[in-house]
Amino acid sequence: MKKPLKNIIQLIESFALETVMLDPEDIPALGNTLKSLESIETLAKKLGEGSLISLTLGLRGYLEKVILREASDLSPFESGVSELQGLCRDLANDKKPDKDISPLLKSLGYSIQGSGSKVHGSEVSETADATDERSQGGGEKGTPDKLSDEDKEIIADFVTESLDNLGTIEVKLMDLEQDPSDVETINAIFRPFHTVKGVSGFLNFTNINKLAHMSENLLDKARNGELSIDGEVVDVILESVDMLKGMIESVRASLDTGTPLEGEIDTEQIIIKIENLLTKVEGGYDKPLGEILIEKGAVSESDLEEALDIQKEQDGKKIGEVLVEQKKVETKKLVSALREQKRFGRQATLHVKVDTDKLDNVVDMVGELAIAQSMLRQNELVLASRDRKLDQTVNQLNQLTSGLQKTAMSLRMVPIKSSFQKMLRLVRDLAKKAGKEVQLIMSGEDTEIDRNMVEEIYEPIVHMIRNSIDHGLELPEKRETANKPRQGTIYLKAYHKGGDIVIEIEDDGRGLNREKILEKAISSGLIKEGEKLTDGEINNLIFHPGLSTAEKITDISGRGVGMDVVKSRIVEKLRGRVDVQSIEGKGTTVFIRLPLTLAIIDGMIVKVGVERYVIPTLTIQESFRPDKNECHTVKGEGEVIMFRDHLVPLIRLNRLFGLNGNSFSSGIVSPAWEKLVVVVENQEKRRCLLVDELLGQDEIVIKSLGGELKHTKGIAGAAIMGDGTVGLILDISGVFNMFSEGL
């Protein structure tokens, strides 16, 4: 494929759909489309295809008239864009175009010169016959046997973009099932199908093109009010999405062979289903065009009846055309009525795609700038200076750096909506499989989270949802017996609290059976018989690998895997915490608490000996200097502190990390009441950390230790302090484990 043609195809792909939704009054959108046409014109001239140039010039001229208010009907322009797509599709497939476009050019007001209006093959015609023969002899459904690097690049882009588009369709379909009358959602589903259809046509993927086109037709009927959305329609569209995904994945898998294939997926049955749904649709919109025109006062009832009589005589003509020809309605008012009838949504907000590596580099550099600024602020010369101008400059630099750091971090933040909305289909499918009636109620989908967390948090949420449906929610009959609604409910919430993000997964099912959990934990050797545990500690036993109270294994859950994945992902990878609350017979709620970002941590800086450590604020409950009567020993060895009427084990960090020559087994250097205690919590367990001094709370830029130090026990990372020295960030879970092992 020639490079100019490739670029033209990419340009048409980006703006063809937008032209359908153009508004003659939207001058900025018209201007953007005009710029795209100018670029296409330049590339068309390089390609040397006369009819392509003529058509592009005609479209450009007509659009300029619309902008200048010399024309208002965009129908000729839309027809021209469709013809432009078809022409490029033929050229891309090495087919010899042979169609007279002079009537179209005339409708655009373009003066026809020579034979340019006749679509001809030009350079393409010399190789068309050979190409047709090659297409029929090899590949699949006309796909070429051998591809150039440029062709491979185009197809690879198509695969990536199409899979993204199909993912959007799945999410929006779940929304549509909740509110079938939401026209915005229907349009949001229609657009990706249209894009997949258009590009697959360019690339000659006939099966993908046909299925996407049929699905698009179905949605077109829905958005025009001719078809009502119900469960059957949603099921058919979901099935078509799955098939399209399968075919596109086949294209990706076979791309390296040089002959991208759509696979052996049989689309005949799904196409028949779509056709059956389309045949059920009885013609006409919910609100006819004539009725809209009368409501707007554009035509009288007598004029409309007269036009309808003429329409019957001139079979095939649209009522709008008849009214315009009879001069019964202004073109501008007709276009307005058509747009109201179609109820198109507005153009979505434009976004700029940025390479994630570049984005991460920006965030890293801003982090380094923040460290350098902190070091400058704490420099002895700056602190000793009495120069007011220097103080003002340093303060201004501090404000600018802080603002830049917040802005840079916000670039990495994305709404959690993408992860949440994927759960709609998951709940729908799992509920059907389990024979249960389940609704998912979501809130806080716009809560933003670090993009690096989005993929990590997806799997834990999936496991929680699976467990809620399989173990938590009862069958409809059992729910009725328990005086509950037949339909179970799962609540998925996200919100900010205390500088962190909290995700709640709540169900109104049977709740946790703590007796059963204890029995399983004892038989598995996780706890000793007779050991006393709080309700919270019993609840947290479900996070141990292999612990499952399921009576039978299903393909949904019950193998004892998943909950330990939740714990490791949230606690170890994301530096968060997870808690469970449950009332037997009422339901279970899982709280996942996460930091806003993985690049910065809010922490308390403490001093132990000559070293400084950062304790994540998320884990801290309280800090205080204990009285002598609050400090106790157990059997003359282990130390405990009385904290809120509970004895909490004391961890001496200097002994744990062997500071100042002290080892874990060395004697007590100084009494606890002469120092400070920081109470931290992890998985319903509390410990007191003994420190020498609290240096303050700050937002810390996290640095990975790397190399051999990366897996140091009890250490999550490092931070560069204001004076340039390194402080270590504590991994509270690891510290607890080290202390237990030392005991």
- Terminal alpha carbon distance of the chain: 71
φ, ψ of residue 449 in degrees (nearest 5): -140, 155
Task: Give bridge partners of residue 646 from the DSSP assignment.
Answer: 643
* pLDDT tens digits along 281-328: 544 344 677 777 777 777 887 888 888 877 777 665 677 777 877 778
Map tokens 């199909």 to a residue. 166
- Output the pLDDT for position 190: 80
CATH 2.40.50 fits 356-411, yes or no: no
Of residues 467 and 456, more confidently modeled: 467
User: Domain 600-742 adopts which CATH fold?
Assistant: SH3 type barrels. (2.30.30)
Map tokens 């015609």 to a residue. 125
Q: Kindly give the interhelix angle for 3-20 and 27-47, rounded to the nearest 10 degrees.
A: 160
Taking a C-beta distance cutoff of 8 angstroms, is the pair 307, 329 a contact?
A: no
* pLDDT tens digits along 431-450: 888 889 999 898 888 888 88
User: Domain 414-595 adopts which CATH fold?
Assistant: Heat Shock Protein 90 (3.30.565)
* pLDDT tens digits along 553-604: 454 454 344 577 677 767 667 777 888 899 888 999 999 888 776 667 778 9
* pLDDT tens digits along 388-422: 888 888 888 888 888 887 787 777 778 888 778 77
Could you tell me the residue ranges of all domains in the chain?
Answer: 3-280, 289-342, 356-411, 414-595, 600-742
Q: What is the SS3 assignment for 384?
A: helix
Reduced 3-state DSSP string for 585-605: CCEEEEEEEEECCCCEEEEEE
Q: What is the SS3 assignment for 113?
A: coil
Token pair in block for residue 371? 């460290």
Asked whether this chain's domains 3-280 and 414-595 adopt the same fold, the reply is no
For residue 345, give the DSSP letter: P
CA distance 596 to 618: 11
- Output the pLDDT for position 460: 85
Task: Read off the pTM.
Answer: 0.48
- Output the pLDDT for position 504: 92
Taking a C-beta distance cutoff of 8 angstroms, is the pair 346, 363 a contact?
A: no
User: Domain 3-280 adopts which CATH fold?
Assistant: Four Helix Bundle (Hemerythrin (Met), subunit A) (1.20.120)
Mean of pLDDT over the chain: 76
- Output the pLDDT for position 125: 33
Angle made by CA atoms 645, 651, 652, in degrees to the nearest 5: 130
Mean pLDDT of 505-513: 91
